[in-house]
A = this chain, B = another copy of it.
Amino acid sequence: MKILPLTKLDKLLHPDSVAIIGASPDKKKVGYAALRNMVLSGYKGRLYAINPKAEQYGEIEGVKVYASIDEIDDHIDLAVICIPARFIPPLMETLGQKGVTYAAVITAGFKETGEEGAKLEKQLVEIAKKYGTRIVGPNILGIVDTSAPMNASFAERSPIKGEIAFLSQSGALLTGILDWSCAEGIGYSSFVSLGNKADLDETDFIEALAEDEHTLAILAYLESINRGTEFIKVCKEVTRKKPVIIIKSGRSEAGSKAASSHTGSMTGADTTYDVAFEKSGVIRAEDSQELFDMAFAFSFMPIPKGNKVVIITNAGGPGILATDAAEKYGLELATLSQEFKDKLKLFLPPAANFNNPIDALGTAQAEDYGRVLEQSLLEETVDGVIVILTPQAMTEGQETAEKIIEIRNRYPLKPIVTIFIGGEILGPHIYQLKKNKIPCFPHPERGVRAMAALAEYDRIRNRPVDDEIPDLKRDKDKVLEIIERVKSEKRNNLLGTEAIEVAKAYGIYTPATKLARTAQQAADLAEEIGFPVVMKITSPDIVHKTDIGGVRLNIKSKEEAATIYEEIMTSAKNHHPETKLLAVDVQKMEKVGKELIVGSMKDPQFGSLVMVGLGGVYTNFFKDVSFGLAPLTKLEASTILKRTKTYTLLKGVRGEPPSDINAVVDTLLRVSLLVHDFPQIKELDINPFFVYEDGQGVSALDVKITIE
C-alpha cells in the first residue's frame, strides 16, 4: 500500500510562507517564542514577523518585522496569531482580504472563558468563513511538523523527528508529552494542538495525516469529537492505511444524561465513543501510559501478520507474568515445531524450557538470545517476538541489546518488543535499544500490551469491508405523517398505536392493535381482533403502565373487555388525575417467546445508537445489551447481537430448539433504518420483544417512541 504525499492541509503543515502576527522581541512573550521556534526549526520557507512597532524593532531573531501583513508582497500560507483576542476579528478581515490560507490562532480568551469569549470566537469563524480562511484553534500551543520542518508553537522546544502524528485537545498536555518524549527518544512527524476546534478539528487532521508520507501512526488526546458521523466516515478509511489511537477523556461524566427509556438508562455517556471507535477501527487507549506505550510500538515496529508470539526470557517469573498478560490482551503463544525445538536444543542447556514461553535460563548469553530470536523470527507460525531480560550474574546486557539490534536490522518484517527489567545496570542498554528504535519496557505486562496493540491493528486494517446498508422496503411517508401529526399536537411521546403503526410501516412485526376510547369500543375491537386480547392504558403522560395496573392480559370475552376498560380507566385517573388524553390499546395476545429488548437512543454527535439485549425483568440487572450506530450493515446488526450473552440463549441451550435469530437481525436493521431516516426520533424502546423458534419470527409487543 502506497502512502501518498499530503494533499489536504498541505500548506498548513508544510507552508511555503509564514507570518507571525504579534511577533515580539520580549522573550517572555508567546510572540517571541513562536518566532524563535520557527527560526530554530530550520524552516526553509519565507518567514515574516508582524508587529505595529516594526520600525522600532527592525528585526527579531534575524527576521525582518513588518508593521502590517498588508505590507508583505507575498501570498501567506499560514498566519500564526499571537495578538490579544479582541484584536483578532478585525485582523481576520485583513487576512481574509489578503487571501491568507490558514490561520493558527494561539491566543486564548475565547469560548473557554465563557459567553463573551464564545461570541468573539463565533465572530472570528464567521469572518474566516467569508473569505475561506481555515482556522486552527483558537487557544492552542501551536503546530509543529518535523518533516516540513516548521515549529509554529510557543513550546519550550521542538520534538524529535519521528513517524507519529500527535493531536491534542489539551495544549498543556502537549507540552508535558513533548518534554517526556524528548527524554524517552520518541519522535513525531506532526504535533498539533487542536485548542477550541472552532474550525479545523480532529477529523480534518486525521484525514490529512492519512496522506502524509512521514506519518506512520496517528495518536490523539481528545475530550470531545466535533462531527461524529464525518469522524467515523474518515476514520473507517484511514484506519485501513494507518493506525489511529485515541485516548478520550471525560469518561466519568457518565450518567449525567436524563433518559426516560430503558435504552437511555443503559447508555453510559461514553458508550457512544466506544461504539464509534469500534466502527471506525480506532484503537482506544485505556490510559496515558498505554497510549504512549503503543506509540513506542507503532513508531518503531512493523505490523505483525497475526497475533501469535514467542516469548523469550532468562527467568521464569517474568515469563509467567508475560503469559498472563498475553492471554489478557488477546495474544496467542505460538505453537513451536519440533524442528524449532531441536535447533534450540543444540545450544541451550537441557534444563531450559523449549516450549513457549522459552526460558533460556539465567545463564543465557547474548549469543543464546540471538539464536533463539533469529530462529523465532524465521519460524512461519510466529508473528512477533517478545524478549525479556533480567540482569543476572552471567547476563550480558550490552551484548544482548546489540544482538537484538543486529537481528532486528536483518529481519525487519516481524515486530520485536523488548522488556528489560532493571535500571542501574540495564539502564544504558535500555537506552541503546530505544535509540535504535526497538521498543523497550520496564515491566512484562506493558510490553505485551504494546505488542497486542500491533496485532490488534493487523486485525483492524484487514477487517472485511462492510459498507452496504440494506435498503429494506419501508413506508417513509406513513412515518413522516405520524410524526408530523404528533408534532402538530405538541406531543413528544407517540401513543402506543402510533408507535405500532410506525413499526409496521418499517416492516417490524407487531400484533394487531387498536385504540379504544370507550368500553363499548374496547369490547367490539377485542372481538374484531380475536380473543384472547391484551389491554393497555395509553396516554402521553403515563410511562410505567404496569405499575398502575394499566396492562391486563388474557382477556377472553367482550364482557370482560368492557369491564376491564373501565377498571383501567379508573386506576389511571386515580394515579394520574391530571391526564386528559386517556384511551386503551386493545392488542392481540401473542404467545410467549424469548424476551429481548430492542431500542435506540440518539447521540448528539454520532447519530442514533441501536441496542439489543436481554429483555424482561432481568433487563436492568444484567444489562446484557450491546450497541451499534445507525445505519447498521447486516454484519454489524448480527455482530452486536452476537456480542450479548443473550445470543447464546437464542442459539438454544440444553436441547432447546434455536430461536429465530434472522428475524432479530432483520428487526435491528429495520429499527436502524427507521432512526436513521428520522433523526427526529430521540428514543425508541421495543420491550418486550418476543423471539420465537427459528422460522417463526418475532413480535414487537410494546413500542415506545419519543421524538425531539
A221, A247, A325, A421: which has the most chain B beta carbons within 10 Å?
Answer: A421
Size of A's binding interface in residues, CB under 8 A: 79
Residue in B221, B250, B292, B423 whose beta carbon sits within 8 Å of that of A324 in the complex: B250
Instruction: List residues of chain B with CB within 8 A of the CB of A259.
Output: none
- Are B170 and A315 within 8 A (Cβ)? yes
Instruction: List residues of chain B with CB within 8 A of the CB of A328.
Output: 251-252
A491 to B: closest C-beta gap in Å: 26
Q: Is A169 an interface residue (CB 8 A)?
A: yes
Q: Is A289 an interface residue (CB 8 A)?
A: yes
Which stretch of A496-504, A585-593, A645-653 is in the interface?
Answer: A645-653
Q: Is A327 an interface residue (CB 8 A)?
A: yes
A162 to B: closest C-beta gap in Å: 15
Instruction: List residues of chain B with CB within 8 A of the CB of A316.
Output: 170, 172
- Are B183 and A427 within 8 A (Cβ)? yes
A391 to B: closest C-beta gap in Å: 5
Instruction: List residues of chain B with CB within 8 A of the CB of A553.
Output: none
Residue in B28, B221, B250, B445 whose beta carbon sits within 8 Å of that of A288 in the complex: B445
A180, A328, A653: which has the most chain B beta carbons within 10 Å?
Answer: A180
Which stretch of A512-520, A596-604, A614-622, A661-669 is in the interface?
Answer: A614-622
Also in contact, A423 and B179, with CB within 8 A (given A324-B251, A622-B645): yes
Query: Which chain A residues numbered 150 to 176 have a C-beta less than 8 Å away from chain B?
Result: 154, 156-157, 168-173, 175-176
- Are B392 and A172 within 8 A (Cβ)? yes
Instruction: List residues of chain B with CB within 8 A of the CB of A113.
Output: 351
Contact with B along A405-438 (1 / 0, CB 8 A): 0000000000000000111111100000000000
Give A177 to B653 CA distance when docked, in angstroms: 49
Give A177 to B247 CA distance when docked, in angstroms: 30
Q: Is A321 an interface residue (CB 8 A)?
A: yes
Give A421 to B170 CA distance when docked, in angstroms: 13
Instruction: List residues of chain B with CB within 8 A of the CB of A172.
Output: 314-318, 362, 390, 392
Q: Is A383 an interface residue (CB 8 A)?
A: no
- Are A654 and B546 within 8 A (Cβ)? yes
- Are A390 and B169 within 8 A (Cβ)? no
Also in contact, A176 and B390, with CB within 8 A (given A250-B324, A320-B249, A424-B182): yes
- Are B156 and A391 within 8 A (Cβ)? yes
Instruction: List residues of chain B with CB within 8 A of the CB of A183.
Output: 422-424, 427
Q: Is A528 an interface residue (CB 8 A)?
A: no
- Are A287 and B443 within 8 A (Cβ)? yes
- Are A617 and B351 within 8 A (Cβ)? no
Q: Is A634 an interface residue (CB 8 A)?
A: no
Q: Is A62 an interface residue (CB 8 A)?
A: no
- Are A250 and B182 within 8 A (Cβ)? no
Q: Is A146 an interface residue (CB 8 A)?
A: no
Q: Is A61 an interface residue (CB 8 A)?
A: no
Q: Is A223 an interface residue (CB 8 A)?
A: yes
Give A621 to B184 CA distance when docked, in angstroms: 46
A423 to B: closest C-beta gap in Å: 3
Q: Is A439 an interface residue (CB 8 A)?
A: no
Query: Which chain A residues numbered 347 to 403 have a C-beta less than 8 Å away from chain B?
Result: 351, 362, 390-393
- Are B173 and A653 within 8 A (Cβ)? no
- Are B289 and A443 within 8 A (Cβ)? yes
Q: Is A30 an interface residue (CB 8 A)?
A: yes
By beta carbon, the residue of chain B nearest A182 is: B424
Q: Is A624 an interface residue (CB 8 A)?
A: yes
Give A184 to B624 CA distance when docked, in angstroms: 44
Interface residues of A (CB under 8 A from B): 28, 30, 33, 113, 154, 156-157, 168-173, 175-177, 179-184, 221, 223, 247, 249-252, 287-289, 292, 314-318, 320-321, 323-328, 351, 362, 390-393, 421-427, 442-446, 546-547, 617-618, 620-622, 624, 645-646, 648-649, 653-655
A-B contacts, 22 of them at CB < 8 A, read A30-B393, A156-B393, A170-B315, A172-B314, A172-B390, A173-B317, A175-B392, A179-B421, A179-B422, A179-B424, A179-B425, A183-B424, A221-B317, A249-B320, A251-B324, A252-B328, A289-B289, A289-B442, A547-B654, A618-B649, A621-B645, A621-B646
What 9 new A-B contacts, CB under 8 Å, besides A113-B351, A157-B424, A221-B317?
A157-B425, A169-B317, A177-B421, A179-B391, A180-B426, A183-B424, A183-B427, A287-B445, A622-B622
